[in-house]
Amino acid sequence: MFDVRGKKVLVVGLGVSGYAAAELLGRRGAAVKITESSDTIEIRERLEELCQYSVEFELGGHTEGFCGDAALVVTSPGIDNGSLPLAVAGNRGIPVIGELELGFLFCRAPIIAITGTNGKSTTTELIGRILSLSGRHTALCGNIGNPLSGEVDFLTGESVAVVEVSSFQLETIKDFRPHIAALLNISEDHYERHANYDNYRAEKFKIFRNQSGDDWAVLHSDLAGAAFSGSGDSGRALIERIKSRLLFFGAETAEAAAGRDGVSVDLFGKKDIIVRSGEIPLKGAHNLDNIACAALVSRIMGVNNRLIREGIRNFRGLDHRFERIGDFDGVEFIDDSKATNIDATRRALESINKRVVLIAGGRDKGGDYLSVLPLVKEKVKILVLIGESREGIKGVFSHAVPVLAAESMAEAVNMASASAEEGEAVMLSPMCSSFDMFSGYKERGEVFQSEVRKLKG
């Protein structure tokens, strides 16, 4: 087991991940130092909770003198790679790991790790619920909002950790080795961090890097296809480097097939229909893929078909992910605030069978809006734009659909409601991150829902 007793460890950032890392290190006897760029009431409250471990700290900025004497640096996924603490560590040869890696080093339970551009949270939640139905102690953690470092002391070898993993987290892994690793899909996202598609794809494939022949790799069948290529290695070449047992989901020929009839799994010499399409509450082809992945992972873990079917039938999806709020005056309102990239909005539009007044915009992440132009032409009646990216998005779509600009979510909802007619839908599906106007996609969705409820009076 990894030993940090008496070692000076610098934690960069005291957000949710940094706090969990600092607390775990404190419990394990490390000499914890914390450097945090902000100085807020929330940060001060977290420091008070950590005072029992006699932590050293600096707030309101980073200094070379404070950051330069650690034996190990633990960073959080939101910390910029060019930040002063990480630059100092690089110059002085101090090892840097992420909070995910730290949690793994202390984790006694097998890990199921889920990554991909879209569908991570839905698939992670569904797998967790199915495993819990089987009676196994299950922790949902990672990028879903519950750091692995905060859970490891509650896990045993009989538990299982189902971990949502982002590309930011995969940047800083060293030995992270999930027993089952699933890659759902890859599309344009986070170019503000990774610069281009090839870099982004390479980070996603790190999830398989440390696996052995005793582990399992689960991928969407499209990832082996001809379309899965950039300027670097082909998708097939990346897949051929995987050393674990390889299974696919999605296509009719895959081990877990998702089609019009539902989801079936062909594993260990036995093919079974897990659930028929009419029994599935989640809508959209993308959710069929998520369900197929969850069913395949659950079968690998030894869960029987009856419990898998029960878990799928009772799963209603996540808040702010194609969440139907209700109908007002014959107009359906949908909260898809979690659609923080272009491909997520594409999937939402493909899942709806009516004309849409679409509310979009926020902080741009560098994707190609032209990729959804044909679908916008087909499905979108009017586009209502908010946030920093308004002008850029308008330049792409204004020749195809009418475009309105709003200064606030309240104004956007009112504009959209006034533009929609009976039998149509108003959908918030931003294609962008939320950090220009909100603390995160959850707040953005909550504000949207609040404004929609006001329409009803």
218-227, 230-239, 273-282: which has the highest mean pLDDT? 273-282
In a domain, 3, yes or no: no
Confidence at residue 225, expressed as pLDDT on a 0 to 100 scale: 64
Rounded to an integer, the average pLDDT of 373-391 is 96
Check whether residue 74 and residue 178 sit in a common domain.
no
Q: How confident is the model at residue 78 (pLDDT cuts 50, 70, 90)?
A: confident
Q: What is the pLDDT averaged over residues 336-343?
A: 92
| Same domain, residue pair 65 and 115 | no
The CATH number given to whatever domain includes residue 409 is 3.90.190.20
Domain holding 58, by residue range, is 8-94
pLDDT tens digit sequence for 99-118: 999 999 999 999 999 999 98
Domain check: are 180 and 283 in the same one? Answer: yes
Q: Which tokens hold the place of 126?
A: 């569904």
- Give Dmax (Cα) for the chain: 67
- Return the DSSP state at 279: G
Mean pLDDT over 258-286 rounds to: 89
300 in the same domain as 168: yes
Angle, helices 285-300/342-350, rounded to nearest 10 degrees: 100
Residues 6+ apart with CB under 8 A from 237: none
Tell me, yes or no, whether 14 and 77 share the same domain: yes
Q: How confident is residue 195, by pLDDT bands cut at 50, 70 and 90?
A: low
Q: Please check whether residues 298 and 173 belong to one and the same domain.
A: yes
pLDDT at 232 over 80: no
Task: Give Cα separations from 283 to 36, 118, 324, 412 (angstroms).
Answer: 42, 15, 11, 26
Per the prediction, the chain carries an average pLDDT of: 93
Average pLDDT over residues 315-328: 88
Q: What's phi and psi for 304, nearest 5 deg?
A: -80, 160
**Residue 452 and residue 339 share a domain:** yes
Dist. CA 186–CA 182, nearest whole Å:
12
Asked whether residue 419 falls in the same domain as residue 341, the answer is yes
Q: Which of 94, 129, 150 is the last residue of a domain?
A: 94
What local confidence, expressed as pLDDT, does residue 319 receive? 84
Average of per-residue pLDDT across 339-344: 90
Domain containing residue 72: CATH number: 3.40.50.720
The pLDDT value recorded for residue 226 is: 45
Find the helix or strand (DSSP H, E) in which 183 lies: strand 180-183
Q: Would you say residue 227 has pLDDT above 50?
A: no
CA torsion angle for 166, 168, 173, 178 (degrees, to 10)? 0
Angle between helices 16-27 and 41-50 (to 10 degrees): 10
- pLDDT value at position 199? 87
The reply to whether 122 and 268 lie within a common domain is yes
Is residue 318 situated within a structural domain? no
Indicate if 289 and 161 belong to the same structural domain. Answer: yes
pLDDT for 456 equals 78
Looking up tokens 């009112």, which residue turns up? 414
Given this model, what pLDDT does residue 5 score? 95
Is 237 contained in some domain?
Answer: yes
pLDDT of residue 318: 81
pLDDT band at 284 (very low <50, low <70, confident <90, very high): confident
Nearest to 293 by CA among 271, 306, 278, 308: 308
Instruction: Tell me: do 122 and 160 sit in the same domain.
Output: yes
Please identify, among 283, 313, 343, the residue that sits at the C-terminal boundary of a domain.
313
Examine the domain organization and report whether 189 and 284 are in the same domain. Answer: yes
From 65, 94, 123, give the residue that closes a domain: 94
Structural domain count of the chain: 3
Q: Is the predicted pLDDT of residue 228 greater than 60, yes or no? A: no
- Give the closest residue to 99 by CA, choosing from 85, 113, 78, 83: 78
Q: Is residue 230 part of a domain?
A: yes
Q: End-to-end CA distance of the chain, in Å? A: 58
Residue 193 lies in a domain: yes
Q: Does any domain span residue 17?
A: yes
The closest alpha carbon to 94, from 69, 63, 66, 65, belongs to 69
Per-residue pLDDT, averaged over 366-371, amounts to 88
**Average pLDDT over every residue of 161-165:** 98
- For 96, 148, 247, 260, 393, the CA distances from 107, given in Å and listed in that order, are 19, 8, 25, 40, 44
pTM of the model: 0.84
Q: What is the mean pLDDT of residues 139-168?
A: 96
Looking at the domain assignment, is residue 160 inside a domain? yes
The answer to whether the CB of 334 falls within 8 A of the CB of 325 is yes
CATH of the domain at 229: 3.40.1190.10
Please give the DSSP secondary-structure letter assigned to residue 194: H
| Confidence at residue 191, expressed as pLDDT on a 0 to 100 scale | 63
Residue 365: its pLDDT value, please?
87
Residue 299 lies in a domain: yes
Q: How far apart are CA 342 and CA 334, in angstroms?
A: 17
pLDDT at site 289: 94
